[in-house]
Amino acid sequence: MHNEVEITLKEALELLENASSESDILRIKGVYVGKNGKITQLLKLIPTLNADEKPVFGQQVNKAKEKIVEKVESCLEQIKVKRTGSVPDQTLPGRRNWLGSRHPISAMVNQIVEVFYGMGFELAGGPDIETEYYNFDALNTPADHPSRDLNDTFYTKNGMLLRTQTSPVQIRVMKQQEPPVRIIAPGRCYRRDTIDASHHILFTQVEGLFIDREVTLADLKGVLTTFAHRILGPGVKIRFRPHFFPFTEPSVEYDFSCLICQMKGCPVCKGTGWVEISGAGMVDPAVLKEVGYDPEKWQGYAFGMGLERIAMLKYGINDIRLFLENDLRFLKQFNF
Amino acid sequence: MKISYNLLKSLIDFDLTPDELAFKLTMSGSEVENISVFGPFDPMIKIGLIQEVKNLPDYENLKLCQVDTGGNKLQLLSTAPNIFEGQKVIVAPAGAVINGITVEVKEFGGYRSQGMLVSKQELGYEEKSATIWEVGPNEVPGSQVNDLLGTDYVLELEITPNRPDCLCHLGIAREVGALLGKKLEIPQVQLVETNESACELYRVEIQDPADCPRYACRIIKGLKVHPSSLYLQSLLQSLGTRSINNVVDATNYSNLLLNQPMHAFDLEKLNSRKIIVRRASAGEKINTLDEVERELSGEVLLISTPERPVAIAGIMGGTETEVDSNTTSILLESAYFDPVRVRKGSKFLSLSSESSQRFERGIDPNKVAWAADFCADYLVSVAGGHVLKGIVDHYPRKIEPISIKLRQSKLHSLLGLYIPPNRTIQILESLGFGGVQALGASMDIIRCEAPTFRPDVTRETDLIEEVGRIYGYHEIEPCFRPGGKLSAELPEIFKFSNRAAEYLTNNGYYEITTVAMGTHEDLQPFNPYESLISLANPTSADFECLRPSLKPLMLQTVLYNLKQKIEDIRLFEIGNVYHDPGGKGYNEPLMLCIGICGRRKPLGWTADQEETDLFDLKGDLENLWPKLNTQKVIFKPKQFPFFNPDFSLEILAEDETVGEIGLLSDSIKKHFDIDKKLFLAEINLDKLLKHSLKSISFKEINRMPVTRRDLVIIVDENLPCSKILEAIQGFRGDIFESVELFDFYMGKNVPSGKKSLGFTLTYSNPRRTLTTEEVNDFHNKLSDSVLESFGGILPTKKETM
């Protein structure tokens, strides 16, 4: 009896070993472990056995069945491999699919949104094609300010313009909403620059604005410090230099300590240990009045930042044109 | 703005190295971009007097000179064109070192040259010199250049447009004083005048005081025009101003010191005792000092005599009244012109000068006369002569300083920094603010007058900036405090597009960002509207219009990468496009564009090496829909001019068109010079978002057994598969669950012009177990219905498994 199980098993395994097609293997499977298969039939003998033999025999039959099923599967797998014409070798590289990733600037936008969102900033936006009012007038820019010039700003044929900064979003939001306001606004901006390694006509800016009753320049320093630490690393230092912008007073330019040389002095920081990032300041009372906020009750800060510049600093990229060239050999370096 | 370290030191006492000075200025708002060093010079380099010049007949341009260098006589050869006897020059005898090179004795054509005549270029004061350096007649032969000049440092400052007062040494000296807690002493002028009265002889008429609020002049007679002293020449040259002669140099020197552009007219050439400040009439002409004849308009303000224009006010003088070497008397003009008028004139003429830039930013109207006196005094010291009594000064309406109040509490609340009232007062005083005083016992309010050289300071907030920047922003400690209420959710479209991007990057696509512009020719074929939005002032023809679609930029990117020999390309872009629907303003919908070409799978040992096709892209999109939870998105054949007619479909979500997908047409491929099969899809994310459910609602799992039946039918090859699928899905009955296409076949065993489609149908009912008869019955009915509706037949021979 037990012997018969062994013989049947051996027979099945031999047949499977020599089977050369998928259909043969499946047929053999049917013959041995199918509904009326040879092994299955053996189980019908169980009632004829005495009590202590029953479980032992049952187990033996089931084991044989398992072995056959296992063998069937491995044979099917081998047939498949043979079909592709390859030799099985487990050191072959795996079957990979294509890899992809975000553009480094989109990735930067997401990281920055995450950092500021965590600090309670809402996300806001506005159109790329703006009016002179939102891009200049409402931001306290004098009517004859050179930045409005045809040499500096792109105008459409019907007198609209391509925004030169994300600051018009400040105005759009404040006109729509009562204070307090706390937003960041990433977006594309355009300037009529000559394209070279550090300038392009298109760049990405993030605008930040916080208006409340007691917001100070010290709060701005705090927020920008947090931003620098989260995006560039915990050791980054920040400093303010007085500057001038029509829409902030006091105005500052803010610098981060140079990541490349750790403030020892290098070409990127021109030997100063500091890299200029962008402008910021306390929102000018004229801007607050323009949107209908009372400057005696409300005050706050605004800041801008150029993302290409920050990405260049973070990754050591030396040419801004790479961001818009979209060379896959460039894009593939940012698989984070 | 360039600042001489030595000249600055003569105005205010400080104990800072050039680097320390630069740091302090940078941190207070005047960023120092560069520091250059002049000197020291080899003591052998001396002033020389040319005693004799001989042309050498055999050698064109070569001259043999005898030069006295203070007792020593040297014989020198030179090709310089401007040599004459009696001229004072700079001599480097053999052995002297200039720029690290030792001057040597040279012989040429039998003549010995014992050194060289030096130019400004060789000493670092000019980019390129064509002549030797001629110095003023008062220099003494034999004097060492190093004794006369020493070493100086020139700091190049970036002055922000709101700070015209920092465009001169006096202004920077005031800043340094404020930073060091010192008050600047303004230099006093004690002018010696003759008895002849200028005011009786000369009259000024201002046509419109709005154009010229103040006009002053001094008359100087009996002066002598010659090259300036070595010191003045080198100072001006190092500050970026070309040295002309002692008279012009004196006005430029005063300007660099005081920020008051002044102009000297040759009195004899002027030939008039009346100066009129008036607008030019259209078509009027003047020859300016840069030797250009300029046609004027009513935008331009002129300085004129009753007979003719003599200068463009605040911008440039005219050649007819130019000071030259024969000039002996001058009219020295010092004025305050309206900044807007100067800017408009400068813009109209496309002519910008050192002077116009200063007037445009605004100078101090109340220092006009003092500056004229200062300059007159300096002129006499460098050119001799005498100053006529009195100053002709037209200033009908005095511009008064503005009184401003500053609350200490506001200063504290804006800066987040406490500055004691006494320090505030001290800073304001050192910056030149007048009448600074604290009001009330608490000293909370400080009142002061903003000087007229600070047109940028008119409000409390401006004063706060002044105090803050001098006190130092480095004193501000970063403040970290939690904000008010936390914001609402991130905008839906932001999350939606990020979800799409995340799915695509995880499925082998790289994101690109492109310049949103292109040529009309490239963009128009993809424009769903009639006209493109064009720029009035594009930087190049390549960027003349804004993109109406992401496709053309995708094509350019694909082409670029193909040219880099990258063959397998899977890219996407998410970005705004710009539509002009005509008359209703512009729209900027957010679009997603995907492009693929090359292999289906990466090169490898088992992979399917076939070229990618429409169904790869379609499949990726079919998986994107559930990721975005969008409802009822289907593809429907539709012709688009940019797609191949056989592979061109629109994408609809709940019957709204949201995009299109297809194979790029041959004509577009040709236009963009792409020679590979490229599949493209573009989807309007703003529209698609409307068909996306924000949440998922759970449906009870059907735990009843399912039964599967296959249906293989042969139909006409032109019959769209989607129609059959729709028909199956639409078949009424409560036991049908789903259908999948498992096989598509054309060829052997299938009649030509036909195709074989194999469907697997799944049957189940969540409430009961189905009987075999029930399933067979339903399946047969469904099969018959499908066969009948589409004229299909069953395969003649069923394949055995």
Residue B426, exposed/middle/buried by CB under 10 A (0-12, 13-18, 19+)? middle
Place of tokens 């074929």: B525
Question: Has residue A1 got a pLDDT over 70?
Answer: no
Helix axis angle for B169-180 and B421-430, nearest 10°, is 160
**From the list A123, A162, A327, which residue is nearest B564 (CB)?**
A327
- Produce one character per residue of B753-782: b if its CB has 16 or more CB atoms within 10 Å, e if not: ebbbbbbebebbbeeeebeeeebeebbeeb
Helix axis angle for A22-33 and A53-83, nearest 10°, is 170
A94 is a domain residue = no
pLDDT per residue as tens digits for the range A258-305: 888 888 888 878 888 998 999 999 999 999 999 999 999 999 999 999
pLDDT per residue as tens digits for the range A143-179: 888 888 888 999 999 899 999 999 999 999 999 999 9
The DSSP bridge partners found for residue B77 are B64
Residue numbers in B near A222 (CB within 8 A): 478-481
As a whole number, mean pLDDT of residues A178-200 equals: 93
pLDDT per residue as tens digits for the range B242-273: 999 999 999 999 999 999 999 999 999 999 99
Three-class secondary structure of residue B656 per DSSP: strand
Residue numbers in A near B476 (CB within 8 A): 217-218, 221, 240
Instruction: Tokens for A14, please give them.
Output: 């031999």
As a whole number, mean pLDDT of residues B272-287 equals: 95
Question: Has residue A80 got a pLDDT over 50?
Answer: yes
In chain A, residues 27-66 whose CB comes closer than 8 Å to chain B: none
Tell me, what's the pLDDT at A87? 56
DSSP B365: G
Closest CA to B87 of B50, B141, B46: B50
**A58 with A162, same domain?**
no
Question: Has residue B798 got a pLDDT over 70?
Answer: no
**A77 with A116, same domain?**
no
Alpha-carbon gap: B103 to the closest alpha carbon of chain A (Å): 35
Identify the domain boundary among A30, A54, A84.
A84
**A48 with A119, same domain?**
no
Q: Cα(B706)–Cα(B788) distance, rounded to whole angstroms?
A: 26
Inspect the interface and report whether the beta carbons of A250 and B488 lie closer than 8 Å: no
Tell me, what's the pLDDT at A41? 81
Inspect the interface and report whether the beta carbons of B511 and A226 lie closer than 8 Å: no
**A77 with A118, same domain?**
no
Q: Is the peptide bond before A180 cis (omega within 30 degrees of 0)?
A: yes
Tell me, what's the pLDDT at A25? 84
**A234 with A281, same domain?**
yes
Answer with the residue of higher pLDDT: A268 or B777. B777
Tell me, what's the pLDDT at A123? 93
pLDDT per residue as tens digits for the range B375-385: 999 999 999 99
**A25 with A125, same domain?**
no
Disruptive mutation site among A86, A96, A102 for chain B (greatest number of B CBs within 10 Å):
A102
**A203 with A171, same domain?**
yes
Inspect the interface and report whether the beta carbons of A299 and B414 lie closer than 8 Å: yes
Kindly list the distances between the CA atom of residue B516 and the CA atoms of A166, A204, B22, B546, in Å, as whole numbers in the listed order. Answer: 16, 12, 42, 6
SS (H, E, C) chain A: CHHHHHHHHHHHHHHHHHCCCHHHHHHHHHHHHCCCCHHHHHHCCHHHCCCCHHHHHHHHHHHHHHHHHHHHHHHHHHHHHHHCCCCCCCCCCCCCCCCCECCHHHHHHHHHHHHHHHCCCEECCCCCEECHHHHCHHHCCCCCCHHHCCCCCCEECCCCEECCCCCHHHHHHHHHCCCCEEEEEEEEEECCCCCECCECCEEEEEEEEEEECCCCHHHHHHHHHHHHHHHHCCCCCEEEEEEEECCEEEEEEEEEECCCCCCCCCCCCCCCCEEEEEEEEEECHHHHHHCCCCCCCCEEEEEEEEHHHHHHHHHCCCCCCHHHHCCHHHHCCCCC
Whether A91 has its CB under 8 Å from any CB of chain B: the answer is no
Counting residues of chain B whose pLDDT is more than 90, the rounded percentage is 82
Inspect the interface and report whether the beta carbons of A128 and B576 lie closer than 8 Å: yes
Closest CA to B312 of B340, B272, B341, B271: B341
DSSP B209: T
* Residue ranges in B110-242 assigned as alpha helix (H): 145-149, 169-180, 198-201, 230-238
DSSP B543: G
In chain A, residues 299-318 whose CB comes closer than 8 Å to chain B: 299
A98 is a domain residue = no
Residue numbers in B near A199 (CB within 8 A): none
Closest CA to B279 of B258, B294, B299, B250: B299
Disruptive mutation site among B25, B510, B616 for chain A (greatest number of A CBs within 10 Å):
B510
Inspect the interface and report whether the beta carbons of B414 and A122 lie closer than 8 Å: no
Q: Is the peptide bond before B705 cis (omega within 30 degrees of 0)?
A: no
Question: Has residue B600 got a pLDDT over 80?
Answer: yes
A72: containing domain:
2-84
| Weakest mean pLDDT among A59-68, A192-201, B65-74, B767-776 | A59-68
Instruction: Tokens for B372, please give them.
Output: 């004229």
pLDDT per residue as tens digits for the range A100-122: 999 999 999 999 999 998 888 99
Q: How confident is the model at residue A16 (pLDDT cuts 50, 70, 90)?
A: confident
As a whole number, mean pLDDT of residues B117-134 equals: 94
Question: Has residue A33 got a pLDDT over 50?
Answer: yes
Q: Cα(B336)–Cα(B346) distance, rounded to whole angstroms?
A: 16
Inspect the interface and report whether the beta carbons of A157 and B535 lie closer than 8 Å: yes
Helix (H) or strand (E) holding B761: strand B754-763
Place of tokens 């973070």: A314
Please report the beta strands in B207-296, taking only residues with DSSP state E, as ranges in sequence order.
Answer: 214-221, 262-266, 274-279, 285-288, 292-295
pLDDT per residue as tens digits for the range B12-36: 999 999 999 999 999 999 999 999 9
Question: Has residue B635 got a pLDDT over 90?
Answer: yes
Tell me, what's the pLDDT at A200? 93
A91 is a domain residue = no
Residue numbers in B near A98 (CB within 8 A): 507-509, 568, 570, 601-602
Please report the beta strands in B699-753, taking only residues with DSSP state E, as ranges in sequence order.
Answer: 707-716, 736-745
Tell me, what's the pLDDT at B487? 56
Residue numbers in A near B571 (CB within 8 A): 326
Q: Cα(A306)–Cα(A259) distance, rounded to whole angstroms?
A: 17
**A258 with A327, same domain?**
yes
As a whole number, mean pLDDT of residues B648-667 equals: 96
Residue numbers in A near B507 (CB within 8 A): 97-98, 100
Residue numbers in A near B491 (CB within 8 A): 123, 125
**A270 with A217, same domain?**
yes
The DSSP bridge partners found for residue B531 are B580
Residue numbers in B near A181 (CB within 8 A): none
Tell me, what's the pLDDT at B800? 40
As a whole number, mean pLDDT of residues A56-65 equals: 84
Tell me, what's the pLDDT at B357? 94
**A30 with A172, same domain?**
no
Closest CA to B48 of B77, B94, B87: B87
pLDDT per residue as tens digits for the range B589-599: 999 999 999 99
**From the list B465, B506, B515, which residue is nearest A249 (CB)?**
B465
As a whole number, mean pLDDT of residues B422-436 equals: 95
Identify the domain boundary among A20, A54, A84.
A84
DSSP codes joined into one string, B35-103: EEEE----TT-EEEEEEEEEE-TTSTT-EEEEEESSS-EEEEEE--TT--TT-EEEEEETT-EETTEE-
* CATH code of residue A130: 3.30.930.10
Q: Cα(A125)–Cα(A105) distance, rounded to whole angstroms?
A: 17
A253 is a domain residue = yes
Tell me, what's the pLDDT at A86? 54
Place of tokens 């001259």: B63
Q: How confident is the model at residue B483 (pLDDT cuts 50, 70, 90)?
A: low
| Mean pLDDT score of chain A | 89
As a whole number, mean pLDDT of residues B81-89 equals: 93
The DSSP bridge partners found for residue A37 are none
Q: How confident is the model at residue A63 (pLDDT cuts 50, 70, 90)?
A: confident
A93 is a domain residue = no
Of all residues in chain A, the one with the smallest CA distance to B478 is A222
The DSSP bridge partners found for residue A253 are A241, A279
Alpha-carbon gap: B759 to the closest alpha carbon of chain A (Å): 22
A96 is a domain residue = no
As a whole number, mean pLDDT of residues A204-208 equals: 96
Residue numbers in A near B513 (CB within 8 A): 103, 105-106, 323-324, 326
Instruction: Tokens for A213, please give them.
Output: 């009753």
Whether A143 has its CB under 8 Å from any CB of chain B: the answer is no
Tell me, what's the pLDDT at A68? 87
Inspect the interface and report whether the beta carbons of B461 and A249 lie closer than 8 Å: yes
DSSP B342: H
What is the residue type of A180? P
A315 is a domain residue = yes
**A255 with A321, same domain?**
yes
The DSSP bridge partners found for residue B194 are none
Residue numbers in A near B561 (CB within 8 A): 326-328
Kindly list the distances between the CA atom of residue A123 and the CA atoms of A113, A185, B216, B778, in Å, as whole numbers in the listed order. Answer: 7, 6, 57, 55
Identify the domain boundary among A84, A116, A139.
A84
Q: Cα(B571)–Cα(B557) distance, rounded to whole angstroms?
A: 9
**From the list B340, B478, B487, which residue is nearest A122 (CB)?**
B487
Place of tokens 């129609």: B723
| Mean pLDDT score of chain B | 93
Phi/psi of residue A48, nearest 5 degrees: -80, -10
Question: Has residue A30 got a pLDDT over 90?
Answer: no
Asked if A284 and A249 count as a contact pair (C-beta separation under 8 A), the reply is yes
Closest CA to B248 of B346, B335, B375, B125: B375
What is the residue type of A47? P
What is the residue type of B706? V
Number of domains in chain A: 2
Residue numbers in B near A95 (CB within 8 A): 601, 604, 606-607
Inspect the interface and report whether the beta carbons of A216 and B416 lie closer than 8 Å: yes
Q: Is the peptide bond before A250 cis (omega within 30 degrees of 0)?
A: yes
pLDDT per residue as tens digits for the range B346-355: 999 999 999 9
pTM for this model (two decimals): 0.83
pLDDT per residue as tens digits for the range B726-738: 899 888 778 888 9
A248 is a domain residue = yes
Whether A298 has its CB under 8 Å from any CB of chain B: the answer is no
Q: Cα(A37)–Cα(A161) distance, rounded to whole angstroms?
A: 82
As a whole number, mean pLDDT of residues B307-321 equals: 96
Spell out the residues 6+ positions from residue B535 whose beta carbon is closer than 8 angstroms to its own: A154, A155, A156, A157, A162, B517, B543, B544, B545, B546
Counting residues of chain A whose pLDDT is more than 70, the rounded percentage is 97
**A230 with A321, same domain?**
yes
Residue B55, exposed/middle/buried by CB under 10 A (0-12, 13-18, 19+)? exposed
As a whole number, mean pLDDT of residues B308-322 equals: 96
Whether A92 has its CB under 8 Å from any CB of chain B: the answer is yes
